[in-house]
Structure 1
Amino acid sequence: MKKQEYFQGQHRKRRYFEGWYFKCISADRKHAIAIIPGMAIDPQGQKHAFIQVINAVTGKTWYHHFSYSEFLCLSDDFDLRIGNNRFSATGLDLNIDTHEGLLKGCLAFRDIHAFPTTWHNPGIMGPFTFLPMECYHAIIHLYHELQGKIELDGEILDFDGGVGYIEKDYGRSFPKTYLWLQASHFDSSNASFVFSRARIPFLGREFPGFFAYFTDFKDIKVRFATYNHSKLANWQVDPVNRTCSGELSGPAGTLSFKAQMSGGGTLRAPVDGLMDREIIESITAHVSVRLVSRHSEVLFQGSSSEAGMEICL
């Protein structure tokens, strides 16, 4: 199986999407944006490429539409080009100036912490990666440092010394109901936390599935997931007040978390390859995490701002 960050959809004819998610937070936390390049094929086989952008400070979003002929992505390397824009594991180059808006600049990625993979456990979805699913999720970089500047509709955003994160989704449709969290700006130390829970259709039925991963990039690397017999207890989600909380328990111990969504902008999401579903995403959410070992030792406790969060119920 080839690496999930590589392009998976070169032989798809219809009902398919693939998108890479680049989150960028400045060192002073005054700037927070997400850039999402990708492609989609609708049920009739019509293809197009896109670059979505969300500005966390203003909540404004952009959907830059491209002809599919401008989409070039290697199937054996993480190297994506859409028009005059390029995205890879080591950085991104942006050059958009149309009636939809302006997006220009270059960012380089340093001190990269990639998500750990093995041949039998190729990503965060574990063995589900090998099964027929409507949507596959992959984490590429848990953390990297940023160098460079971006001009967004006339405003210069300085990301020198900032922090970034990369993930991707591919398949037919996003889950009908799901919640997603991602945090990497913890007050106590560098760390990364990712959590998602969704109703997953499979062989004509549905089941609730979840995964979570936490690391301090030193000694702690813990995974909680449906497929490794972890449990999610005290699960609460309030779509009105935009909060969630839960307690994960597994072989590594117990991780409790709380999250509060803040602000947000409207992004397009796929349904059968059609990019016409609207979802609200925040990248200024607040997340708190407490990790306790099986012997009741507190391994980590901290909170993060500028976290990503989506609630779709």
Structure 2
Amino acid sequence: MIKQAVFQGKNKKRRYFEGWYYKCISADRKHAIAIIPGMAIDPQGNKQAFIQVINAANGKTWYHPFPYFEFKARTDEFDVEIENNAFNAQGLSLNVDTKEGSIKGRLTFDEIHPFPRGPKHPGIMGPFGVIPFMECYHAILHLYHEIKGVIELDGELLDFNGGVGYIEKDYGRSFPKTYLWLQASHFAGGNASFVFSRANIPFLGLEFPGFFAYFTDFKTITRRFATYNFSRLEKWEVDTEKGTCAGVLEGPNGSLAFSALMNSGGRLRAPVDGLMDREIIESITAKVWVCLTNNQGVVLFESASNEAGMEICLDDQVASNKESE
């Protein structure tokens, strides 16, 4: 089974990217930031390292580039360094001071809930996660963890003691041209985690719509909905003008209805053939509602979150204000 958290790109020469996504929410929910360390190789073989930051409070984003020789990553365990910055499963340490801005401090994680993996479930992508030559691979590392520490962002102190976080990663050639992504871990009704993504996936010269979703309350409820386990996405609607989406997931063990509303977001750079020149809009204060029922229609969990991650990206062919299926 592939150790998805560790660096996969050691022998890549061109058209490749890899990035780890840390989402951090403070205990009082006044501060929400995302930190993305990564690397990329363009079609000509030029390499770079980077650290991206988004501050939900004002939607401001930072892209800090670094020479590739400053990037060091182990292939046997999750351990990444970029100049004087370090990232792993137990925390992160930041010491960035560039013309783009500054971010400094250290966060440590405990009470970690990793994404469950095993022979039958190699990752959130299921069997697609082990097929070679996919355009983009997605992995969830931590569904939830608690945070200790303080970050100084452009001179502002952000206290994350008692806060919670989430880690995922992407790697491959390019982000999908058309996709939607949701992630929420801060529900008013109690601790839970919900992740959903739908994308048009190129494969062997063809393209097909695929999706995956995962929900857990960390106690007794765990549900997986995905193309690969014959779940269905019903009543699917996305409105790019309003920044909304909604759908009903029907799976072997029940159904999950959800809706989401994009809040103010910031511009992040995303890869196209290893070139970090595509701009996407991401919110980490989106509003998400979920309602999970079993096969008998009994409600198992219903709640909303106001600190969700959300991205809506449509290519030119489907960039009308509304897409339905």
Residue correspondence of structure 1 range 129-148 to structure 2 within 5 A: 129-131=129-131, 132-148=133-149
Structure 1 residue 157: deviation in Å?
Answer: 0.2
- 1:94 corresponding residue in structure 2: 94
Mapped partners of 1:38, 1:307: distance in 2: 22
Structure 1 residue 119: deviation in Å?
Answer: 2.9
Structure 1 residue 170: deviation in Å?
Answer: 0.1
Any unmatched runs of 5+ in structure 2?
315-325
Mapped partners of 2:128, 2:101: distance in 1: 39
Q: Give CA-to-partner distance per residue, 1:66-100, whole Å, 9 cap, x none.
A: 01100000001000000000000000000011211
Number of residue pairs the alignment of both structures matches = 313
Matched, 1:81 2:81: yes
Any idea what SS the aligned residue of 1:75 has?
Answer: coil
- 1:193 corresponding residue in structure 2: 194
Matched, 1:202 2:203: yes
- 1:26 corresponding residue in structure 2: 26
Equivalent pairs: percent with the same residue?
Answer: 71
Q: Give CA-to-partner distance per residue, 1:167-211, whole Å, 9 cap, x none.
A: 000000000000000000100110000000000000000000000
Confirm or deny: 8 A CA contact 1:124 1:211 kept in the other structure. Answer: yes
- 1:240 corresponding residue in structure 2: 241
State the TM-score, normalized to the length of structure 2: 0.96
Mapped partners of 2:208, 2:121: distance in 1: 21
Mapped partners of 1:49, 1:97: distance in 2: 15
- 1:154 corresponding residue in structure 2: 155
Structure 1 residue 120: deviation in Å?
Answer: 4.1
Confirm or deny: 8 A CA contact 1:262 1:284 kept in the other structure. Answer: yes
AA of the residue aligned to 1:242: G
Structure 1 residue 297: deviation in Å?
Answer: 1.2
Mapped partners of 1:151, 1:193: distance in 2: 29
Structure 1 residue 135: deviation in Å?
Answer: 0.2
- 1:251 corresponding residue in structure 2: 252
Matched, 1:114 2:118: no
Confirm or deny: 8 A CA contact 1:283 1:308 kept in the other structure. Answer: yes
Mapped partners of 1:77, 1:119: distance in 2: 19
Mapped partners of 2:10, 2:198: distance in 1: 28
Mapped partners of 2:120, 2:224: distance in 1: 15
Any idea what SS the aligned residue of 1:184 has?
Answer: strand
AA of the residue aligned to 1:258: S
Confirm or deny: 8 A CA contact 1:2 1:76 kept in the other structure. Answer: no
Residue correspondence of structure 1 range 211-222 to structure 2 within 5 A: 211-222=212-223
Confirm or deny: 8 A CA contact 1:24 1:165 kept in the other structure. Answer: yes
* Stretch of structure 1 that moved more, 112-121 or 34-43: 112-121
Any idea what SS the aligned residue of 2:177 has?
Answer: coil
- 2:228 corresponding residue in structure 1: 227
Mapped partners of 2:225, 2:302: distance in 1: 17
AA of the residue aligned to 1:224: F
Q: Give CA-to-partner distance per residue, 1:279-311, whole Å, 9 cap, x none.
A: 000000000000000011110000011100000
- 1:176 corresponding residue in structure 2: 177
Any idea what SS the aligned residue of 2:11 has?
Answer: coil
Structure 1 residue 40: deviation in Å?
Answer: 0.1
Structure 1 193/269 Cα, relative in aligned 2: closer, same or farther at 3 Å? Answer: same
Any idea what SS the aligned residue of 2:228 has?
Answer: helix
Q: Give CA-to-partner distance per residue, 1:243-281, whole Å, 9 cap, x none.
A: 000000111200000000000000000000000000000
State the TM-score, normalized to the length of structure 1: 0.99
Matched, 1:288 2:259: no
Confirm or deny: 8 A CA contact 1:3 1:122 kept in the other structure. Answer: no
Any idea what SS the aligned residue of 2:127 has?
Answer: helix
Structure 1 residue 130: deviation in Å?
Answer: 1.6
- 1:3 corresponding residue in structure 2: 3
- 2:298 corresponding residue in structure 1: 297
Confirm or deny: 8 A CA contact 1:49 1:70 kept in the other structure. Answer: yes
Indicate the RMSD between aligned Cα atoms, in angstroms: 0.6
AA of the residue aligned to 2:124: I
- 2:308 corresponding residue in structure 1: 307
- 1:67 corresponding residue in structure 2: 67
Any unmatched runs of 5+ in structure 1?
none
Matched, 1:55 2:55: yes
